[in-house]
Amino acid sequence: MRKPSYFLSLVMLGSATLFTACSSSDDDTSGGGGENPGSDSKYVITATPNTSESVADYILTADQLTEGRISTKGNGVEQDGTYRYYVTTNNMFFSMLYGQGNPGAVTAYELNNNGDLERLTNFQSETVQAFAPVNDDILLTKISRNAESPMAYWYRFSTESLTFVAEGQINTQELADKENGEIAFFTWITQVGEKVYMPYMTVKGCCNDTFGTEYANEANIAVYTYPEMELETIIHDDRTSYIGRYFVNGLTVDENGDAYAFSSGIATTNGEVTSEKPSAITRIKKGTTEFDDYYFDLEEATGMYLTDHVYAGNGKFLGIMETEKTSAYSTGKNFVIIDAYNKTTTSVTGLPTASQIQQLTGRNSYVSEDGSVVYVGITLEGSEGSFVYSIDVDAATASQGLEVEGGFITAISKLDPAE
């Protein structure tokens, strides 16, 4: 495959020099209650300061999540630029700037033995629309939304060398193979066994209806070898609309190696939802490249549709649901425990009502190591701060925990001290 020339021009801005960031522990963040990451480990919390100006997230740290208080005022690591997104892998925390079409900064941190964040590297990367850990890499894709230039570019970033080690391109019009010329737009990336599965929606990429489609009632997943990124096959199903959503993961692998595919059923044409398929879950069994006969209609079970999900373990997911399909980009604010194995759902109690919630962390929530608790950051309407809520998966109950003063929580993670 021909390599795009701009990839070769990516320049590392700093990798050898370590920058010691401020620890953000404040007030009552130590001791007592809930999962403690250990005397040396820290929870990493990003929060957008509550100001009238557009500002970037701060990176804060805390000893535990179930009680206490931290603040964005005078604490943490202030980042450059707004619209940040995050991934934690190989015991490193990566912060990526969404450049809105322009290159953006990517910064990697680790935790030192003093409990402080240290900056490992800061470099420029193309703005990407999907990214995920694969083996010891982060695989990123810059995806075209223009049918006249339908190339998507992928990049392999090594978390061991902290450098880009490979790249390539995908003709998304050829991948979609639609009579009307629609192009494939990847919704996310998931490692399944030793392969990479990339669900995609087909979109017009033109005509004042860029993300509209005439193929609203089908799901497709491109399967690639790794690390070569050679297309192996396309998995197709017509029981649901596309898997995932724009910038939202819709495919999760359980402990058995089976992949569960979540569809919101919100494909649109000219801004109107035209999919005739309900929000539902389908499955790809381990070692296969086809959907089996598993099917769970979430709309029938809950009266709502899924906008995001977090996998806890043992077939149980935290489903984030919305009531009405008015937009392909709505964020749900209703919480349900989905037992995919037994095809049951249970509403979570102890949380603010949907009308009270301004924003939440969604997929950037944290799951305890034993899978029993999901920690979600929630900002209430009219609030000047946020709280971490602990959701007990088996009991489907929630309790309010750590308060973040002066900031809206955007992600929760955890790091152990670097060896």
Residue 190 forms part of a structural domain:
no
Do residues 132 and 116 lie in contact, with contact meaning Cβ atoms separated by under 8 Å? no
> Which element (helix H / strand E) includes 133?
strand 130-134
Residue 94 forms part of a structural domain:
yes
Say what the pLDDT of residue 103 is: 65
Mapped onto helix, strand or coil, the DSSP state of residue 173 is helix
For residues 208, 99, 106 and 416, what is the CA-based torsion angle, rounded to 10 degrees? -70
Residue 70 forms part of a structural domain:
yes
pLDDT at 54 over 70: no
Confidence tier at 3 by pLDDT (50, 70, 90): very low
**Please, which residues bridge with residue 224 across strands?**
196, 231
Mapped onto helix, strand or coil, the DSSP state of residue 399 is strand
Q: pLDDT tens digit string along 270-292? A: 999 999 999 999 999 999 999 99
Tell me the percentage of the chain whose pLDDT exceeds 90: 76
Say what the pLDDT of residue 82 is: 67
Mean pLDDT over 320-341 rounds to 95
Say what the pLDDT of residue 32 is: 35
Which residue do the tokens 């003709």 mark? 171
Residue 82 forms part of a structural domain:
yes
- Token pair recorded at residue 415: 């790091």
Residue type, 341: Y
Residue 326 forms part of a structural domain:
no
**Distance of alpha carbon 295 from alpha carbon 7, whole angstroms:** 41
- Token pair recorded at residue 135: 């083996």
> What is the chain's Cα-based Rg?
21
Say what the pLDDT of residue 320 is: 97
- Token pair recorded at residue 340: 């995919």
Q: pLDDT tens digit string along 184-194? A: 999 999 999 99
Tell me the percentage of the chain whose pLDDT exceeds 70: 88
Say what the pLDDT of residue 37 is: 57
Say what the pLDDT of residue 35 is: 56
Mapped onto helix, strand or coil, the DSSP state of residue 37 is coil
Number of domains in the chain: 1
Residue 169 forms part of a structural domain:
no
Question: Could you tell me which residues come within 8 angstroms of residue 126 by beta carbon, excluding any fewer than 6 positions away?
Answer: 6, 7, 10, 99, 103, 104, 140, 142, 153, 155
Q: Please state whether the predicted TM-score (pTM) of the whole model is above 0.85.
A: yes
Do residues 200 and 178 lie in contact, with contact meaning Cβ atoms separated by under 8 Å? no
- Token pair recorded at residue 91: 């015991």
Mean pLDDT over 82-99 rounds to 85
**Which residues in 209-368 belong to E strands, given as ranges?**
219-225, 231-237, 251-253, 259-263, 268-269, 272-273, 280-284, 295-297, 305-313, 316-322, 334-339, 344-347, 357-360, 366-367
Mean pLDDT over 291-299 rounds to 98
Query: Domain range for residue 373?
Result: 39-124+362-389+402-418
Say what the pLDDT of residue 359 is: 92
Quick check: bond before 49 cis, omega within 30?
Answer: no
**Distance of alpha carbon 290 from alpha carbon 274, whole angstroms:** 25
Mean pLDDT over 229-240 rounds to 98
* Residue 324 or residue 105, greater confidence: 324
Residue 252 forms part of a structural domain:
no
- Token pair recorded at residue 88: 């934690």
Instruction: Give 348-357 contacts, CB < 8 A, sequence gap 24+.
Output: 348/318, 348/391, 348/396, 348/397, 348/398, 349/396, 349/397, 349/398, 350/389, 350/397, 350/398, 350/399, 351/378, 351/389, 351/391, 351/398, 352/378, 352/380, 354/323, 355/381, 356/380, 356/381, 357/333, 357/381
Confidence tier at 232 by pLDDT (50, 70, 90): very high
Residue 283 forms part of a structural domain:
no
